[in-house]
A and B are shown apart, each in its own frame.
Chain A
Amino acid sequence: MGKDECKTMLDALNKVTACYRHLVIALGSTSDSQNLREELKKTRTKAQELAVANRTKLTSLLKDKGISKDDRAEYERLWVLFTSSVELLEVDMKRSLEIGQDFPLKVPRRHLIQTGMTGSTTTVAARAMSVQNMKYEADANIDTVDLKELETEIAQVDQMMEEMELKVQVAPWTVEAKQEAGAELKSTVSVGNSSVGIISICEEEPKETVEGETGLMKVFAGVIFTAVLLIAGILGYLVINL
C-alpha cells in the first residue's frame, strides 16, 4: 500500500538525517579528516535523493482528492514528519558549510579543535549508506571543492522547501501525534546493556569509578557464588552416593 511504502521511505530518510547530524558534529574536531568530508558528501547526496523521492510520493498521495478522511489525516501526519526531517537536514547542511569553511584541512596554521574524539566515523557513514564498508575514492582536496557544491545543494533544498510550502496546504498544528510521551522507551527496552555501563561513566562523576567497580564486583560475586553452589552440589552428591 502507499502508506507502507511511504513509511519505509520516511524511515530511511530519518536514518540518513540522524547519521548526517552525527557526522556534522564531528566536523572541525580532531576526528575530522578528508574521509569525513567525503562521508558527509555521500550522506548528503543520499539524503537529498531520498527527500526528493519522498516528496514526489507524498505530493502525489496528498493531491489525490478521492481519499478518505482517515487516510488524509495519516498522509498529513507523514507530511509533517517529512518536512521536519528536511528542515533538520537543511539546518545541518548550512552549519556544515559554515564549519567546513572555517576549518579547512590543508592549511597548516589552522588547527582542529581537540575535543577528545579521535576515532573515525566510518561506521556511522556505513549505517547511513546501508553498506558494510565505506569506500573512499575522492581526491585529496575534497574539503575545498566540496564546499561549492554544498552551496548549490543548499540553494536547491531551500527552493524545494519553498515550493512544497506553496503547493501543499497542510496545517501542521492540526496533526496529532500517535506516540504518547515516553514512547521512545518502549521499543528500545532491549537496548544493549553493555552500553549502559560505559555511558553511566559520563553521568554521575563522583560515582564514576564506583559504578564500574561495583559492576565488576557484582560479576565476581556471581561467579564465585555459582562456583560454590556447584562444589557444594557435587560434594553432596558424592557424600550421598559413597
Chain B
Amino acid sequence: MTIRNVRDHGQRFRPRMACLKKVESVVLEMQDPKTGVKSQTQRLVITTIPHALTGEDIVAWIANRFKIDAAEARAMGTMMVAFGYIYPLQDHKRLMLKPDTSLYRFQTPYFWPAQQWPVEDTDYAIYLAKRNIRKKGMLELYEQEQYNNLYKWMNHKWDFIVMQAKEQYRAGKERKKPDRVVFDCQERAYWVVHRPPPGTVSAMDYGHDRMVDPNIEEKKTPDYYRRIIMFTQQCIMRPRVKSSVSIGALVKYTTTYKEHDPFLHACLPSNPWLTDDVTYWTLNMPNVETPTKMRVERWTFSFGELLMDPRGRDDFRLFLKKEFSGENLAFWEACEDLKWGAAETMKEKAQQIYKTFLARGAPRWINIDGKTMDITVKGLAHPHRYVLDAAQTHIYMLMKKDSYGRYLKSPVFKETQKKAIAPEQHRFTETQLEQNAKRRRPSLSPIILRQQEEEQKAKLAASGPVDITQVMSKLERKQTK
C-alpha cells in the first residue's frame, strides 16, 4: 500500500509536458481513414496484423499537414516516437522516425504519456515479472538489475506483484494470437519510453515537479497587477546599451571561446558525460602539475581567467616571486579571503592585512596611491567585508596592466606553455563505451578536496612570503660589506 497522505490527484505537474495535449490532437487527426496516414498490414510468419505505417508515409503526412519541409517533419515525427505515441516495430529500442519503409504503429490511449498519470514502479515491477515468465528468467542485464532493485525496496508488495503478473499473463492469453502479439509490442514500447535502456536518451527527462499547473490561466488579482507594474518599472530603469556594442562584445566572446566550449567543439581527450571516461577531469584538476594546452591558452585571454584558474594563479605567483613583487597577489588573495570568509574572523583578518600590507614599514608593503590609502585606513576603523575593496581594485588593475603583460612574455610562462600536454582524442568502440558506463565510480568526496586545499594553503604560508624588510636589510648588509 502506498502512503496516501500525499493525495496526488496529479497535483505535481511536470513542466515540459504541456505539449502532450497538442501531440494527442495531431495523433487523432492521423487516424482519419480519408485524410489520415495510409496504413498497411504487417506480415509475420503465421499472422498478419493491420494498421502498420511506414516511416516515409508519416513524414509525408506531417509535411503536408503543417506545410513544412521533410527534415522538420522528420524531427517532429521523431518527437512523437520519443514520447511514445507511435512505436517502431523493428529496432524497438531506438526511438526515432526513419523516413524509409520501416514500420510503425500507433500506441493505445492507455499507454500514452499523460500529464496527470505518473509512471508507477508497481506497474513496472508487474511488467518485469511478466517478462520474466515469458522469457523463462532470461531478462536483459539492465532489466535484471531493475528487477532486483524493485524486489528489494518494494518487498512488502512483492506477493501482490507476483500474483498480479501471473493473472495478467493468463488473462492476456485469452485473446486471439494477433492481438496478443500487438499487446506485447505495445507494452514493451511503453516501457522502452518510460524506463529507457542504458545509453538511450529519454524524452521523458523533465527536471523538478512543479506545484503549479503550467497550463492554467493566472487569475488577474490586484497582486498580479502589482507584480506586472514592478516588472515594467524595472524594465524602464534598466541601463541601455547600443546593440552594435553589445553584439560586438558577443561576437568577440564567441570567437575567442568557441573552441573551448564542450558543447560546440570536441573536448579533448573525450567528454566524460558522453563517453563515461574521466581523463578530462583528472587532467584538469585544480592542482595538477602539468596543465593542458587548452587551459594555458585560456590564461592568455584575460587576466581574470588567469586568476580564476588555481593552476594559473600558481604560475603567476611563481613569476611574481621571481620578480619580487609577490605582495600584490598576496594582498589580492587576502582581500578575497576577507570578502568570502566567515564573519567571525573578519575583524582579525582585516587587522592582520593592515599590519602585513598597508601599515608604514609593513613587511609586505603594497604600493597604492594616497587617496586610496586614506579611504582604506578610515574604513578600517569600522571594518566590514568590503572595506578593502578600493585597494583591492587598485592592485588588481596594477597587476593587470603591468605584471600580466610581462608574465605572458616571461620564461616561466613560456616554460609552462612548452610543457603543457595536448591529449589525443579517444576513439571508443561500442563495447568499450558499455564497459566505461559500467565502471563509473563516484569522484573524490568534497571533504577530501577541501582538506587538500587547506594543506596547500598551509604549505604556501609555511614556505614564507618574501619579507621586504629582511630583503632590504640583507641588501644593506651586503652593500656595507
Enumerate chain A interface residues (CB-CB to B < 8 A).
11, 14-15, 17-19, 21-22, 24-31, 77, 80-81, 83-85, 87-88, 91, 95, 99, 102-103, 110-119, 121, 123-124, 126-128, 161-162, 165, 170, 172-179, 181-185, 187-188, 191-192, 195-196, 198-199, 201-203, 205-206, 208-209, 211-213
Partner of A198, one of B51, B106, B180: B180
Would you call B253 an interface residue if the criterion is a C-beta within 8 Å of the partner chain's C-beta atoms? Answer: no
Q: Are B155 and A184 in contact (CB under 8 A)?
A: no
User: A86 — nearest CB in chain B belongs to which residue?
Assistant: B1
Interface Cβ pair total, 8 Å cutoff: 209
What 19 additional pairs, Cβ within 8 angstroms, besides A95-B110, A161-B4, A205-B91?
A18-B171, A21-B168, A22-B171, A25-B183, A80-B159, A84-B157, A84-B164, A111-B32, A112-B31, A117-B182, A119-B179, A123-B174, A128-B171, A181-B148, A184-B166, A191-B169, A202-B181, A205-B89, A212-B45
CA distance A189 to B185 in the complex (A): 23
Would you call B49 an interface residue if the criterion is a C-beta within 8 Å of the partner chain's C-beta atoms? Answer: yes
Residues of chain B with a CB closer than 8 A to A102's CB = 109
Q: Are B1 and A185 in contact (CB under 8 A)?
A: no
Would you call B80 an interface residue if the criterion is a C-beta within 8 Å of the partner chain's C-beta atoms? Answer: no
- With contacts A18-B164, A22-B168 taken as known, whether A88 is within 8 angstroms of B184 at the C-beta atoms is no
Closest 5 A/B residue pairs (Cβ): A212-B45, A177-B158, A28-B109, A18-B167, A111-B31
Chain B, 9-61, CB within 8 A of any chain A CB: 27-28, 31-33, 36, 39, 42, 44-47, 49-52
How far, in Å, is B93 (CB) from chain A's closest CB? 10
CA distance A191 to B135 in the complex (A): 11
How far, in Å, is B229 (CB) from chain A's closest CB? 40
Partner of B156, one of A25, A112, A121, A176: A176
CA distance A115 to B86 in the complex (A): 9
User: A118 — nearest CB in chain B belongs to which residue?
Assistant: B50
CA distance A116 to B167 in the complex (A): 24
Q: Are B110 and A181 in contact (CB under 8 A)?
A: no
How far, in Å, is B180 (CB) from chain A's closest CB? 7
Q: Are B177 and A88 in contact (CB under 8 A)?
A: no
Partner of B109, one of A99, A172, A183: A99
7 contacts between A and B (CB under 8 A): A14-B160, A19-B171, A111-B28, A115-B106, A161-B4, A181-B151, A198-B46
How far, in Å, is B81 (CB) from chain A's closest CB? 15
Would you call B258 an interface residue if the criterion is a C-beta within 8 Å of the partner chain's C-beta atoms? Answer: no
Residues of chain A with a CB closer than 8 A to B440's CB = none
Q: Are A188 and B166 in contact (CB under 8 A)?
A: yes
Stretch of B62-70, B126-134, B354-362, B395-403 with 4 or more beta carbons under 8 angstroms from chain A: B126-134
Q: Are B183 and A117 in contact (CB under 8 A)?
A: yes
Would you call B208 an interface residue if the criterion is a C-beta within 8 Å of the partner chain's C-beta atoms? Answer: no
Would you call B370 an interface residue if the criterion is a C-beta within 8 Å of the partner chain's C-beta atoms? Answer: no
Quick one: CB contact mask for B78-108 with A, threshold 8 Å, 1 for yes?
0000000000011110000000000001111
Residues of chain A with a CB closer than 8 A to B468's CB = none
How far, in Å, is B279 (CB) from chain A's closest CB? 36
Residues of chain B with a CB closer than 8 A to A21's CB = 168, 171
User: B90 — nearest CB in chain A belongs to which residue?
Assistant: A205
How far, in Å, is B42 (CB) from chain A's closest CB? 8
- With contacts A22-B168, A29-B108 taken as known, whether A176 is within 8 angstroms of B155 at the C-beta atoms is yes
Interface SS, B side: helix
Partner of A199, one of B32, B120, B174, B184: B184
Would you call B198 an interface residue if the criterion is a C-beta within 8 Å of the partner chain's C-beta atoms? Answer: no
Partner of B186, one of A115, A128, A191, A211: A115
Residues of chain A with a CB closer than 8 A to B89's CB = 205
Partner of B182, one of A116, A172, A174: A116
Q: Are A165 and B184 in contact (CB under 8 A)?
A: no
How far, in Å, is B156 (CB) from chain A's closest CB? 4
Chain B, 134-192, CB within 8 A of any chain A CB: 134-137, 147-148, 151, 155-160, 162-186, 188
How far, in Å, is A117 (CB) from chain B's closest CB? 5
Would you call B417 an interface residue if the criterion is a C-beta within 8 Å of the partner chain's C-beta atoms? Answer: no
Residues of chain B with a CB closer than 8 A to A30's CB = 51
Residues of chain B with a CB closer than 8 A to A162's CB = 4
CA distance A26 to B32 in the complex (A): 19
User: B190 — nearest CB in chain A belongs to which residue?
Assistant: A25
CA distance A84 to B177 in the complex (A): 30
Q: Are B109 and A184 in contact (CB under 8 A)?
A: no
Q: Are A185 and B137 in contact (CB under 8 A)?
A: yes
Q: Are B173 and A172 in contact (CB under 8 A)?
A: no
Q: Are B171 and A81 in contact (CB under 8 A)?
A: no
Would you call B386 an interface residue if the criterion is a C-beta within 8 Å of the partner chain's C-beta atoms? Answer: no
Would you call B233 an interface residue if the criterion is a C-beta within 8 Å of the partner chain's C-beta atoms? Answer: no
Partner of B175, one of A77, A124, A192: A124
Q: Are A191 and B133 in contact (CB under 8 A)?
A: yes
- With contacts A29-B109, A87-B1 taken as known, whether A11 is within 8 angstroms of B163 at the C-beta atoms is yes
Q: Are A17 and B164 in contact (CB under 8 A)?
A: yes
Would you call B111 an interface residue if the criterion is a C-beta within 8 Å of the partner chain's C-beta atoms? Answer: yes
Residues of chain A with a CB closer than 8 A to B39's CB = 114
User: B151 — nearest CB in chain A belongs to which residue?
Assistant: A181
Chain B, 280-314, CB within 8 A of any chain A CB: none
Residues of chain A with a CB closer than 8 A to B180's CB = 195, 198-199
Would you call B257 an interface residue if the criterion is a C-beta within 8 Å of the partner chain's C-beta atoms? Answer: no
User: B148 — nearest CB in chain A belongs to which residue?
Assistant: A181
Q: Are A179 and B133 in contact (CB under 8 A)?
A: no
